[in-house]
């Protein structure tokens, strides 16, 4: 059992470049306890961090931009069952599956246990709150929470655009990876 686990880890690390359709620089993910279905249809940009127990179903394609961070247990689905068409042959759904590409743009932060459904595009520098269920497109700079996910505010677009012009805007490249002291932030 332990030998099998060690072998699985070594093989996943050695061959992980072949796991995705494309994989940018400095990507961080753990294949153990994560599920990457149809991984040949999943593209990762640079500086992508996928939290533990991430689930990506790439049947309809998933495109993840640069500087994207997933919290633990985030699920992204690019396919679903037929449950409500004129051709429906059984209940609660039939054997027909439909695919729709999911696009997650640059510098998006997705919180723990969020679920992204087929056909969704998440805009640049958006934030998806923990536990949100995203069934519709999310605009650039939006903060969305809830089930279904709703926009609760927009980020400061001028400040975000200024940071995007920097050579290394990505948080872990710029500030390192670790907890810092809590400070008061001016809003």
* pLDDT of amino acid 15: 46
Q: Is 81 a catalytic residue?
A: yes
pLDDT of residue 21: 82
Tell me how far apart the alpha carbons of residues 121 and 116 are, in angstroms, rounded to a whole number. Answer: 9
Report yes or no on whether pTM surpasses 0.75.
yes
- Of 17, 26, 35, 81, the catalytic one is 81
Q: Which domains does the chain have, with CATH numbers?
A: 16-82+91-174 (2.160.10.10)
Distance CA 30, CA 72 (A): 11
**pLDDT at residue 68 in the model:** 95
- 156 Cβ contact list (under 8 Å, min separation 6): 141
Residue 186: CB atoms within 10 Å: 3
What's the N-to-C CA distance of the chain in angstroms? Answer: 53
Contact between residue 125 and residue 164 where contact means Cβ atoms under 8 Å apart? yes
| pLDDT value for 130 | 98
Radius of gyration (C-alpha) of the chain in whole angstroms: 18
Residues in the chain: 187
The answer for residues whose C-beta is within 8 angstroms of residue 153's C-beta and 6 or more apart is 142, 143
Residue 113's contacts (CB-CB under 8 Å, 6 or more residues apart) are 71, 72, 73, 74, 75, 130, 131
Please tell me the predicted confidence (pLDDT) of residue 89: 74
Per-run averaged pLDDT (10 residues), the chain, 187 residues = 64 55 79 85 93 94 96 95 77 81 97 98 98 98 98 94 80 60 57
d(CA 177, CA 82): 42
Closest to 108 (Cα-Cα) out of 135, 79, 80, 137 = 137
């Amino acid at each position: 059992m332990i030998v099998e686990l060690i072998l699985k880890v070594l093989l996943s690390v050695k061959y992980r470049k072949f796991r995705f359709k494309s994989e940018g620089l400095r990507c961080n993910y753990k294949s153990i306890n994560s599920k990457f279905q149809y991984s040949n249809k999943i593209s990762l940009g640079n500086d992508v961090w996928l939290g533990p127990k991430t689930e990506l179903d790439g049947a309809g394609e998933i495109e993840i931009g640069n500087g994207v961070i997933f919290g633990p247990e985030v699920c992204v689905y690019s396919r679903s069952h037929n449950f409500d068409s004129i051709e429906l042959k059984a209940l609660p759904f039939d054997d027909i599956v439909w695919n729709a590409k999911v696009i997650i743009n640059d510098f998006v932060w997705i919180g723990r246990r969020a679920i992204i459904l087929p056909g969704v595009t998440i805009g640049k520098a958006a934030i998806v709150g923990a536990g949100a269920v995203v069934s519709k497109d999310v605009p650039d700079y939006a903060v969305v929470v809830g089930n279904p996910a709703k926009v609760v505010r927009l980020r400061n677009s001028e400040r975000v655009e200024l940071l995007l012009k920097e050579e290394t805007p990505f948080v872990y490249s710029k500030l390192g990876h670790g907890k810092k002291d809590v400070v008061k932030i001016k809003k």
